[in-house]
Structure 1
């Protein structure tokens, strides 16, 4: 299914029906990833209808070679909600998806009831950024080397040894190089600091204590900036806490949203 953004770009989205009576949940993936990011844990939220989308540049969505931004991705998500006739949803965004979710709650407060921000940051101007060493390691030309670095940033070695993959959080392999670059710039340029204090939605912030891809100090930084927010740190988890530590993370999300 497709929604049409304000500029005519087609945004692919996916709907999985859940039990009636609960507000739908919009799931927003990380940078340069499509909806498959959520495949390992989507069933954990089956008590409600879940909506995912392919960001422009990924999956089945159009791939214009133009400037992308996290506020722009948020507007694409609004186009999806409009296409579905959904006036209000809960939103769970992880990594860059958490950056997009921030803008959804800032720009469209009437559309977001509960907000969950996972392994994310307010942006470069105030957030804690990954080290230059990590940036250099991720800039190598060899795809296998980059994937190895990403896997280590996402998961603990013990878990990887027991779960040889595939890993749905390593990026959309079908993306053209220009689209990957556009996503990187959009995420790097994210800066929602001034708007965070206007967020009206009750907010849960989740982060792994061992996350160095988006340093864990960002969790409390966001919790202190956003009204009616609190942070939960998941001990031992790296960036893909929601996958490796799903038995901890998913109930935290479900319980938080059930109490709204």
Structure 2
């Protein structure tokens, strides 16, 4: 597995596939690049996909130091530098969308098109998940907590008809301290003040039934980022890109294709 070296010396594993203009794919909290396994082929017919394992996950280093979404964005820039990519389209979902916000705002010359999926601005302006959702995820029974997470990610109809694999439930190989570091980084995210600085074409995508990252966050992003477009995936929960792949991938591809450099 190839690695890039971050500014602090941490080794960040990355993966590439396909051919064409580069498309950086950013995963959710406490997940590695396998988050994208079910859908990246939808983009590799026209784009060179680039993904990475955040520090603390997969084949990347796992230093026991504070993490942040801005820091993850800086690690992503290190990957782009290692690959000699000056500018890329960026598609981030969940916490990856938070990382993508920093990329577009703080490194505007590295991003030409932005897609933010099932994410939020963070901070006091964000709509937080409800208490019932938080309780369901904090159940002491691991099997019950996993089932609760599955039902936040996917509809019950989909779960009844699919045997998986479900690649959005977290990197099981992560040490406990790294999971805590990821949770803290995501919870501390607040890009509200810099969202207005994003000037690249931006698409916001969100499932209408998302309770994990409440759907009310999507219009907040769309209103805050100049010229952003908002598209809903009816009936979808958090993992809209996976369960509703046949709708979401063409939607994102159309936007990316229309904004190719």
CA distance in 1, matches of 2:31, 2:66: 17
**What are the Cα deviations for residues 33-54 of structure 1, in whole angstroms up to 9, with x where unaligned?**
0000000001000111000000
TM-score by length of 1: 0.97
Cα deviation for residue 110 of structure 1 reads 0.4
Q: Which runs of 5+ in 2 are unaligned?
A: none
Q: Where do 4+ consecutive residues of structure 1 move more than 4 Å?
A: none
CA-based RMSD of the aligned residues comes to: 0.8
The more displaced of 127-136 and 25-34 is 127-136
The more displaced of 127-136 and 201-210 is 127-136
Counterpart in the other structure of 1:69:
68
Counterpart in the other structure of 1:120:
119
Counterpart in the other structure of 2:186:
187
Counterpart in the other structure of 1:162:
161
CA distance in 2, matches of 1:244, 1:150: 14
CA distance in 2, matches of 1:13, 1:141: 34
TM-score by length of 2: 0.97
Counterpart in the other structure of 2:47:
48
Counterpart in the other structure of 1:8:
9
CA distance in 2, matches of 1:108, 1:126: 23
Cα deviation for residue 140 of structure 1 reads 2.4
Cα deviation for residue 164 of structure 1 reads 1.9
SS for the counterpart of 1:105 is helix
Counterpart in the other structure of 1:210:
209
CA distance in 1, matches of 2:183, 2:174: 12
1:32 aligns to 2:33 (yes or no): no
CA distance in 2, matches of 1:236, 1:124: 27
1:85 aligns to 2:73 (yes or no): no
Cα deviation for residue 31 of structure 1 reads 0.3
Cα deviation for residue 143 of structure 1 reads 2.4
CA distance in 1, matches of 2:57, 2:163: 25
SS for the counterpart of 2:151 is helix
CA distance in 2, matches of 1:140, 1:184: 17
How many aligned residue pairs are there?
257
CA distance in 2, matches of 1:92, 1:206: 10
CA distance in 2, matches of 1:130, 1:191: 16
Task: Tell whether the 8 Å contact from 2:205 to 2:231 is kept in structure 1 after alignment.
Answer: yes
Counterpart in the other structure of 1:231:
230
Q: Which runs of 5+ in 1 are unaligned?
A: none
Cα deviation for residue 166 of structure 1 reads 2.1
